[in-house]
């Protein structure tokens, strides 16, 4: 796996590069936001938010405009607001410093599995819900034949709901499956992603809220 590490602290970067390469990853180091934006395509990006030249969130937005590459945010910020904002921007995961290297590697592998999918059977990777088609292998979503663009997290959430049409998924289940079993942020981030998906699908009824429980996916009547 090719990883782009965007980190301005040289000592942290050197340690991470050495450790990641020892775990079999191919790593490119970008010390600034401009270096990150100029880098070639990678399989996953580790993005520090505290960069010297550009705000890490701006770098994230620019990368996301042109690529669906999974992004894990790295930051020393510990405020809940920053965690929620990072996830609502569409980050695939969020790790605060200091962090365990073993945990970081586990999160990289978990995000990679979610992004690539474990199912290579062509009969199972396409989920159809009325005029909505979710292809988990190519990570493309079409509605009535037209492709709709989603962030990585929006895609994962919609695909998760589409695996069992009509079933109610609790917010906790969604967080554990789509985000991470060790992420303990507020459940309101689920609502924010659901609202964005509804808007992109053009109809509120695609994802129905079950009061006090969670959400279910069904074609609009």
The predicted-structure confidence for 100-113, as pLDDT tens digits, reads as follows: 888 888 888 888 87
121 within domain boundaries? no
Residue 86 has a pLDDT of: 65
The predicted-structure confidence for 143-181, as pLDDT tens digits, reads as follows 988 999 998 889 999 999 998 888 999 988 888 888 765
Per-residue pLDDT, 87 = 65
Q: In terms of Cα–Cα distance, which of 7, 93, 82, 4 is closest to 48?
A: 7
| pLDDT of amino acid 83 | 60
Q: Which of 116, 148, 168 is the last residue of a domain?
A: 116
Domain count, the chain: 2
| Whether 171 and 88 share a structural domain | no
CATH number at residue 211: 1.10.10.10
Please check whether residues 87 and 153 belong to one and the same domain.
no
pLDDT at 117: 46
Question: Tell me, what's the pLDDT at 119?
Answer: 39
What pLDDT score was predicted for residue 210? 93
Nearest to 48 by CA among 39, 66, 36, 64: 36
Query: In the beta sheet, which residues pair with residue 93?
Result: 72
pLDDT of amino acid 123: 43
Predicted TM-score (pTM) of this structure: 0.56
Residue where one domain finishes, among candidates 93, 116, 139: 116
32 φ, ψ to 5°? -135, 165
> Which domain, by its residues, includes 186?
126-217
Which residues of the chain fall short of a pLDDT of 70?
77-88, 115-124, 180-187
Candidates 170, 175, 176; CA nearest to 215 is 170
């Amino acid at each position: 796996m090719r990883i782009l590490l965007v980190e301005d602290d040289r000592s942290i970067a050197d340690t991470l590069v050495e450790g990641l390469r020892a775990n079999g990853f191919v790593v490119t180091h970008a010390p600034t936001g401009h270096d990150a934006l100029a880098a070639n395509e990678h399989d996953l990006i580790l993005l520090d938010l505290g960069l010297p030249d550009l705000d890490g969130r701006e770098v994230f937005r620019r990368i996301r405009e042109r690529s669906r590459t999974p992004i894990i945010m790295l930051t020393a910020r510990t405020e809940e607001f920053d965690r929620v904002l990072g996830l609502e921007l569409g980050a695939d995961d969020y790790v605060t410093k200091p962090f365990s290297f073993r945990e970081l590697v586990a999160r990289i592998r978990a995000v990679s599995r979610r992004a690539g999918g474990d199912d290579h059977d062509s009969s199972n990777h396409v989920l159809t819900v009325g005029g909505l088609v979710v292809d988990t292998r190519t990570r493309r979503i079409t509605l009535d034949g037209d492709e709709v663009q989603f962030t990585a997290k929006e895609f994962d959430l919609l695909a998760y709901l589409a695996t069992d049409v009509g079933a109610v998924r609790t917010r906790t289940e969604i967080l554990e499956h789509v985000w991470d079993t060790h992420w303990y942020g507020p459940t309101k981030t689920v609502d924010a992603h659901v609202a964005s998906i509804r808007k992109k699908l053009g109809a509120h009824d695609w994802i129905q809220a079950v009061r006090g429980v969670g959400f279910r996916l069904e074609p609009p009547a």
